[in-house]
């Protein structure tokens, strides 16, 4: 049996070809475990598929069609790490596709698992379910399970809903979907290949806040490196700047970047601002208390200097990083981001079960004119 630590120890900043290939075998289910698994073509296809699903779901007969797609499969949401938002997003995605689901939210409450290895618990679940969506506190555990599943007689696919401080690939996918979808506005002519354009070329994309400890920025950075021609600004308190592993990864891909410690002087140049909260739950000794977060926040006064097409994103929850009065401005995309997550997760689940073809056929048959 592969050790969890061994999996976790593999550096995540490399496109570990071998690891990705193991998750992506032709003779096994497709497992969504690492953001690095997605190349530019798959990003574009999934964004387009998400658009199609949301358009189809806009009509009553469309929702009925979608609900037939996976009504013959069952999903297990194994969410051992507390999470409401991601959990609800996945359950909504399952419901859109008509897929019955069940959940395990707290392994410790079950008397039945006393003394049982977690591998055995997972093996039992694979007998009842056709998909595991997993959120787990241990880095590398989702990858370990995906590899374990591949060794079973009837492997089922796994989707990583967040593992430890490290990977959260579906969040990364919804983030890039929101970014590309917002930049592609105003909507191109129907049928036009919306996501194949170089939407990021020439854009300035800022990440602001606690970049060291937030995994969403890390995961999104991997996906951005599938594109070129943009400039990345990492705006953080020096003690909480983005990790060197990410910087090296970006440099290897030839992406222009800069480290700053105040968003205010540059707000007028930015095309997309990815705001994040202080992750003070990781503080050893309250060290982030002394940081003035005004440098990494958007006030209503600053909105005068926003570009018209600025894309403001936030993985949520927010604290004070974005003034509530910004919520109703056209630049605010963080509520859309929530909804985009639901559509993107539906697209990922549908793809896992090879329903993307049926969705495309239905879309072209009924929703284009």
| Residue ranges that bind a second copy, judged by CB under 8 A | 1, 57, 60, 63-64, 67, 71-72, 74, 76, 81-86, 88-89, 91-92, 95, 100, 102, 104, 107, 109-116, 120-121, 123-125, 127-129, 277, 281, 316-319, 324, 327, 335, 338-339, 342
Structure token pair of residue 288: 């982030």
Structure token pair of residue 19: 């690891």
* Cα atoms found within 13 Å of the Cα of residue 3, Cβ hemisphere only: 4
| 31 labelled catalytic | no
Chain CA centroid to CA 62, Å: 25
- Give least dist CB 11 to a second copy, A: 26
Cα dist from 239 to 10, 212, 365, whole Å = 25, 8, 54
DSSP helix/strand/coil, 131: strand
Structure token pair of residue 169: 């690939």
Q: Which of 25, 85, 248, 319 is catalytic?
A: 85
φ/ψ (deg, to 5) at 363: -60, -50
Instruction: Give whichever of 14 and 336 is closer to a second copy, judged by the CB atom.
Output: 336
- Give least dist CB 64 to a second copy, A: 7
Instruction: Give whichever of 32 and 76 is closer to a second copy, judged by the CB atom.
Output: 76
| 114 labelled catalytic | yes
Instruction: Give whichever of 20 and 125 is closer to a second copy, judged by the CB atom.
Output: 125
Cα Rg of the chain (Å, integer): 21
Structure token pair of residue 206: 């800022």
- Give least dist CB 218 to a second copy, A: 18
Instruction: Give whichever of 114 and 191 is closer to a second copy, judged by the CB atom.
Output: 114
Q: Which of 60, 84, 114, 190 is catalytic?
A: 114
Cα dist from 23 to 155, 315, 354, 355, whole Å = 12, 26, 16, 19
| 135 labelled catalytic | yes
Q: CA torsion sign, 151 to 156 to 162 to 166?
A: positive
CB 236 within 8 A of CB 262: no
Separation of alpha carbons 369 and 364, rounded Å = 9
- Give least dist CB 52 to a second copy, A: 17
Q: Which of 13, 19, 31, 86 is catalytic?
A: 86
Cα dihedral: 91, 97, 101, 105 (round 10): -20
Q: Which of 168, 314, 345, 362 is catalytic?
A: 168
Instruction: Give whichever of 41 and 64 is closer to a second copy, judged by the CB atom.
Output: 64
- Give least dist CB 88 to a second copy, A: 6
Q: Which helix (H) or strand (E) holds 163?
A: strand 158-163
- Give least dist CB 297 to a second copy, A: 14
Q: Which of 12, 19, 101, 135 is catalytic?
A: 135
| 165 labelled catalytic | no
CB 278 within 8 A of CB 315: no
Q: End-to-end CA distance of the chain, in Å?
A: 54
- Give least dist CB 358 to a second copy, A: 12
Instruction: Give whichever of 197 and 338 is closer to a second copy, judged by the CB atom.
Output: 338
Kindly report the three-state secondary structure assignment for every residue of 265-312: HHHHHCCEEEECCCCHHHCCCCHHHHCCHHHHCECCHHHHHCCCCCEE
| 86 labelled catalytic | yes
Catalytic residue IDs:
85-86, 114, 135, 168
């Amino acid at each position: 049996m592969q050790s969890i630590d061994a999996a976790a120890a593999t550096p995540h900043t490399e496109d570990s070809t071998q690891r990705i290939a193991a998750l992506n075998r032709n003779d096994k289910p497709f497992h969504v475990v690492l953001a690095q698994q997605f190349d530019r073509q798959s990003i574009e296809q999934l964004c387009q598929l998400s658009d199609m699903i949301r358009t189809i779901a806009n009509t009553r007969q469309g929702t009925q069609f979608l609900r037939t797609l996976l009504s013959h499969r069952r999903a297990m949401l194994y969410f051992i790490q507390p999470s409401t938002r991601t959990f609800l997003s996945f359950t909504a995605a399952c419901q859109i596709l008509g897929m019955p689901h069940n959940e395990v939210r707290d392994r410790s409450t079950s008397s039945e698992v006393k003394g049982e290895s977690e591998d055995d618990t997972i093996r039992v679940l694979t007998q009842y379910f056709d998909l595991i969506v997993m959120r787990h506190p241990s880095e590398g555990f989702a990858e370990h399970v995906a590899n374990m599943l591949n060794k079973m007689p009837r492997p089922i696919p796994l989707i990583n809903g967040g593992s430890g401080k490290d990977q959260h690939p579906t969040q990364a996918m919804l983030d890039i979907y929101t970014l590309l979808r917002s930049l592609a506005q105003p909507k191109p002519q129907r049928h036009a290949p919306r996501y194949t354009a170089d939407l990021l070329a020439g854009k300035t994309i800022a990440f602001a806040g606690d970049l060291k400890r937030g995994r969403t920025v890390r995961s999104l950075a991997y996906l951005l490196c599938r594109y070129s021609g943009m400039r990345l600004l990492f705006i953080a308190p020096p003690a909480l700047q983005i990790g060197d592993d990410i910087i090296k990864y970006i440099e290897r891909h030839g992406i222009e970047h800069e480290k700053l410690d105040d968003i205010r002087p540059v707000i007028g140049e930015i095309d997309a601002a990815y705001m994040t909260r202080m992750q003070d739950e990781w503080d050893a000794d309250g060290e982030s208390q002394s940081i003035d977060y005004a440098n990494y926040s958007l006030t209503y006064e600053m909105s005068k200097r926003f570009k018209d097409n600025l894309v403001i994103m936030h993985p949520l929850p927010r604290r004070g990083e974005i003034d509530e009065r910004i919520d109703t401005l056209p630049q605010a995309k963080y509520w859309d981001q929530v909804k985009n997550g639901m559509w993107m997760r539906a697209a990922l689940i549908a793809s896992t079960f090879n329903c993307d073809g049926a969705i495309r056929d239905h879309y072209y048959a009924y929703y284009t004119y």
